[in-house]
Amino acid sequence: MKKILISAYAVSPIRGSECAVGWEITRRLGQYFDVTVLMCENTPSGDSYAAEVKQYIAKNGAIKNVSYVSVPMPRKSKIYTWLHDVGFWPAYYWGYTCWQKRAFEMAEKLHAINKFDLMYQLNMIGFREPGYLWKLSVPFVWGPTNGFHSIPLSFLKSLKGKEYVFQHLKHFFNELQILISDRPKKAAKKASVVWCVDEVAQKKIKEWGGKTDLLQETGLSLIEDETFVAKKEFVSPNVLNLVWSGMITSGKALGILIDALVLNKDLNFRLVVLGDGPLLQEMKIRAHSINHKIVWKGWLSKNEAIECVKSSDLLIHTSLKEGTPHSVLEAIAYGIPVVCHDTCGMGVAVNDKNGFKIPYTDFETSTLFVSELLQSIFANPEILNIKYDTIGQTKAMLSWDSKVKYIVDKINTIIAQNEQK
């Protein structure tokens, strides 16, 4: 059995986002390889990933062929965490880089003993931190990676005040980092493949001289609950149940949906908003003419949120910049079509069989698209009902198992090619 070493800072069986990426991919790779995973022991903010993995293994048994090695955060990372918490956001990456250096030291020691066949930089997925495993003299793969995408200026012009300034600064510094980053460019050139979440990342990695392929960073677990049957038909003029989920910030762009619904306030809809954030009150004021049709749920437990999604007809995800949101994949898993912008990982996951893609142009175009889509669904419910019929065809290709099977095939090919040299 071939041996691979994986750097996965965030790994947890009970968390989502980056932790879910680390957990779902590493545990499945154990079916095919002898896997050693370097993971963060305790984050500076107090999250104990190592303890959560140990508790899972104590209860459910060891993960076959997978060894999780916890790497402590360096003490000085606490200083960087404090700087980040008081508003100096670049300090987060300084602390993370400290951990990657320590992980590399551990990798060198383990490689001297185990002689790994391949090194794999898994997460975090942002391009800014590729780790240091690429320095070792064995094949190296990296990804899925993302973070190259900046919200277009055509969207930013609609923002006001602090949000306008903040998002423009993010745009500027993101473009600057892409230009001047040195270590990511070296890692990309060394990698046998860099898996990219979307075409924007793929184009940039190619410009850096790297070999690329598309692979989304997250996946869905195929639903095993046979008692649940997804909604199969919408009949107008019944209530169209809509759901929106996320942090209520400018980047999530809930205002697009609110404005579209205000234009259609006479339609028979009900919107459930899952989440909270700094723009909550502003959104409530913006929606004053339709607030009687909106339920502001705030943050719910994962199970409660899933129940809201399952009882909806359509998930509308207006975010302007993201990877592949798990809320989008969960909706698809439960047979609920998705509306999202045609960008980032979500623009890859959503297609004409499982949803509708909003042109990625500006706020006005997005608002008009959602408004006209809702009008079309009420005028011709088959527009939505066809998605109910075809959405199941897309589940398997978005699953964790299909992603890992692709990764396995690619790794086996890379190792075989290296052995033939």
Q: Tell me, yes or no, whether 204 and 279 share the same domain.
A: no
> What is the tens place of the pLDDT at every residue in 175-209?
888 888 899 999 999 999 999 988 889 999 999 99
Give the pLDDT band of residue 227 (cuts 50, 70, 90).
very low
pLDDT at 225: 45
Residue 173 lies in a domain: no
pLDDT at 298: 93
> What is the tens place of the pLDDT at every residue in 78-113?
777 767 666 666 677 777 888 999 999 999 999 999
Phi, psi of 47 (to 5 degrees): -75, 125
Phi, psi of 198 (to 5 degrees): -145, 180
Average pLDDT over residues 212-235: 71
Contact (Cβ atoms closer than 8 angstroms) between residue 169 and residue 220? no
Crossing angle between the packed helical segments 326-333 and 302-310, to the nearest 10 degrees: 50
pLDDT at 229: 54
Q: Cα dihedral angle (217, 221, 222, 225), rounded to 10 degrees?
A: -160
pLDDT at 42: 84
Would the pLDDT of 223 be above 60? no
Domain range for 346 is 240-397
Q: Tell me, yes or no, whether 294 and 409 share the same domain.
A: no
Nearest partner of 9 among 56, 77, 76, 57, judged by Cα: 77
Q: Tell me, yes or no, whether 201 and 266 share the same domain.
A: no
* Residues facing 356 on adjacent strands: 339
Give the pLDDT band of residue 147 (cuts 50, 70, 90).
confident
Average pLDDT over residues 239-246: 95
What single letter denotes the amino acid at residue 221? S
**DSSP secondary-structure letter at 343?**
-
Nearest partner of 371 among 258, 254, 260, judged by Cα: 260
Residue 229 lies in a domain: no
> What is the tens place of the pLDDT at every residue in 379-420?
999 999 999 999 988 888 888 998 999 999 999 999 999 998
What is the b/e burial string over 269-293, where b = at least 16 CB atoms within 10 angstroms of the residue's CB? bebbbbbebebbebbeebbeebeeb
Q: Tell me, yes or no, whether 407 and 276 share the same domain.
A: no
Question: Which two structure tokens, joined as six digits, stand for 313?
Answer: 């007809």
Give the pLDDT band of residue 330 (cuts 50, 70, 90).
confident
What single letter denotes the amino acid at residue 28? R
Q: Tell me, yes or no, whether 261 and 133 share the same domain.
A: no
Residue 379 lies in a domain: yes
pLDDT at 226: 44
| Alpha carbon distance 13, 386 (integer Å) | 35
Contact (Cβ atoms closer than 8 angstroms) between residue 68 and residue 56? no
* Residues facing 242 on adjacent strands: 271, 314
How are the residues of the chain apportioned to helix, strand and coil, as percentages rounded to the nearest 5? 50, 15, 35
Average pLDDT over residues 341-347: 89
Q: What DSSP assignment string belongs to 180-235? A: H--HHHHHHHH-SEEEESSHHHHHHHHHTT--EEE--S--BPPP--TT--------
pLDDT at 203: 92
Q: Tell me, yes or no, whether 56 and 102 share the same domain.
A: yes
pLDDT at 95: 79
Average pLDDT over residues 127-146: 94
| Alpha carbon distance 97, 284 (integer Å) | 40
Number of structural domains in the chain: 2
> What is the tens place of the pLDDT at every residue in 10-65?
999 988 778 889 999 999 999 999 999 999 998 877 778 999 999 999 999 999 99
- Report the DSSP pairing between strands 212-214 and 240-245: unpaired
Radius of gyration from C-alpha coordinates of the chain: 22
The fraction of the chain above a pLDDT of 90, given in percent, is: 62
Residue 293 lies in a domain: yes
Residue 176 lies in a domain: no
Q: Tell me, yes or no, whether 315 and 205 share the same domain.
A: no
Would the pLDDT of 292 be above 50? yes
**DSSP secondary-structure letter at 68?**
E
Question: Which two structure tokens, joined as six digits, stand for 198?
Answer: 């979307």
Contact (Cβ atoms closer than 8 angstroms) between residue 337 and residue 354? yes
Contact (Cβ atoms closer than 8 angstroms) between residue 311 and residue 239? no
CA 203 to chain centre: 19
Q: Among 70-74, 80-84, 356-360, name the most confident range.
A: 356-360
Q: Tell me, yes or no, whether 210 and 341 share the same domain.
A: no
Q: Tell me, yes or no, whether 187 and 254 share the same domain.
A: no
pLDDT at 273: 97
Would the pLDDT of 157 be above 60? yes
pLDDT at 230: 60
Would the pLDDT of 352 be above 50? yes
pTM of the model: 0.83
